[in-house]
Amino acid sequence: MFRASAPGKIILFGEHAVVYGRPAIAAPFNRLQATAVVAPAEPGQGLLLELPDVGDRVMVDGGATGQPLALVAHLALRVLRLDAPPDWTITVRSTIPVASGLGSGAAAATAIVAAMAAAAGASLSPAQVSALVYESEKLFHGAPSGVDNTVIAYNRPVWFVRGVAPQPFDLPRPLTLVVGDTGIASPTSVTVGDLRRCWQAEPARFEALFDAVGQVVQAARRAIECGDPTAVGTLMDRNHQLLQAMGVSSAQLDALCLAARQAGALGAKLSGGGRGGNMIALARPERAEQVAEGLLSAGAAHAFATQIQ
Ligand code: PMV
């Protein structure tokens, strides 16, 4: 048996504008993980993908497929030079909630590729894994920027610009984040598609919003590198306002961001696709539990503190 895991991810700054070429900062979220296990199967079975969390099982038959995780397994066969699908059962389990902005699809795909490589006795670079996972992201998302597959495949904080080699981004000090879950599933493809229609209708207005996000992300990089959490928090608030103006926030996300600030957070913003899913708040470590309690009192389905480093 061969097992591999991949983390979820948190976008700290720059979601949505990153689709339009502006930078983003993202980090792995190791508290949540997707795990894939490859087990040998009866001769003649072929390659079976078991997805018990979503009650699905798919044969990876070597043909084109519309199931994103089956597609990534199919593409991995080629890269691993496995001409015929081997008799394997790959079982994927995940603690990352689906459609919540935490990278569940990219994490499951990364775990599958890594477990298949281990079973084939091969080693793939993060760039190779990221490129394979990007293909499955296209089916999940439509026109993804590539930030999710990059941060998860590299498993370290990154400064990401679409189409440019990712730069690993070292945090001089850990950031304490509190993640608050609205409990509302919101497929990223829907928010990304809605925003695209708005941008097509009013390109100048939306380009100006994306430029403003780009400036916030640049300033956030400097504030993180200088170890200035107060400035990072203020920039998170500013990024959230710009996401509101783009129409990708929601009443629940806004209420959780406000509750986090009232409970002592240094700043808060939605994280990921928006409309539902998760928000993040930056807290001083000694305030993190209080912020998590504030989020739960304001209606968060879950809230927990984590350190990004
Ligand atoms: O997968 P999510 O919901 O975290 O969203 C990814 C970030 C977006 O910028 C909204 C989309 C993208 O392709 O970058």
Query: Does residue 99 have a pLDDT over 80?
Result: no
What is the distance in A from the centroid of ligand 1 to the CA of 119?
Answer: 30
pLDDT of residue 98: 82
Per-residue model confidence (pLDDT) at position 63: 61
Catalytic-residue membership of 148: yes
pLDDT tens sequence across 20-44: 999 999 999 998 999 999 999 999 9
pLDDT, position 83:
83
pLDDT at position 294: 98
pTM over 0.75: yes
- The whole-number pLDDT of residue 140 equals 75
For residue 288, give the nearest of 173, 180, 170 by alpha carbon: 180
Q: Residue 216: its pLDDT value, please?
A: 98
> Is a pLDDT exceeding 70 seen at residue 82?
yes
Residue 7 has pLDDT above 70, yes or no: yes
Q: Confidence class of residue 189 from pLDDT cuts 50, 70 and 90? A: confident
In the structure, what pLDDT confidence band is assigned to residue 101 with cuts at 50, 70 and 90?
Answer: confident
pLDDT at 226: 93
State which ligand 1 atom lies nearest to the alpha carbon of 106: 1
Q: Which pLDDT value is given to residue 86? A: 95
How much is the mean pLDDT over the chain?
Answer: 94
For a pLDDT cut of 90, what percent of the chain falls above it? 86
- If one compares 137 and 39, the residue with the highest pLDDT of the two is 39
Pick 114 or 65 by higher pLDDT: 114
- Whole-number percent of the chain with pLDDT over 70: 99
Q: Is the pLDDT of residue 132 over 90?
A: yes
Residue having the nearest C-alpha atom to atom 14 of ligand 1? 145
Distance from residue 176's CA to the centre of ligand 1 (Å): 22
User: How much is the pLDDT for 169?
Assistant: 86
Task: pLDDT band for 175, please (50, 70, 90 cuts).
Answer: very high
Out of 61, 148, 194, 237, the active site residue is 148
Read off the pLDDT of each residue in 105-127 and give the average, rounded to a whole number.
Answer: 96
Q: Per residue in 258-309, pLDDT tens?
A: 999 999 999 999 999 999 999 999 999 999 999 999 999 999 999 999 999 8
pLDDT band for position 193 (50/70/90)? very high
Mean pLDDT of 222-241: 97
- Whole-number Å distance between alpha carbons of 116 and 21: 32
Tell me which of 104, 133, 141 to substitute to probe ligand 1's pocket, judged by most ligand atoms within 8 Å of the beta carbon.
141
Please tell me the predicted confidence (pLDDT) of residue 66: 81
Q: Please tell me the distance between residue 43's alpha carbon and the centre of ligand 1 in angstroms.
A: 40
Which residues, judged by CB distance below 6 Å to any ligand atom, belong to the binding site of ligand 1? 11, 15-16, 18-19, 101, 103, 141, 144-145, 147-148, 188, 192, 272-273
Q: Mean pLDDT throughout 210-223? A: 98
Q: How does DSSP assign the chain, residue by residue? A: -EEEEEEEEEEEE-TTGGGGT--EEEEEEEEEEEEEEEEE--TT--EEEEEGGGTEEEEE-SS--SSHHHHHHHHHHHHTT-SS--SEEEEEEE-SPTTSSS-HHHHHHHHHHHHHHHHTT----HHHHHHHHHHHHHHHHSS--SHHHHHHHHTS-EEE-TTSPPEE---SS-EEEEEEE------HHHHHHHHHHHHHHSHHHHHHHHHHHHHHHHHHHHHHHTT-HHHHHHHHHHHHHHHHHHT---HHHHHHHHHHHHTT-SEEEEESS-SSSEEEEE--GGGHHHHHHHHHHTT-SEEEEEEE-
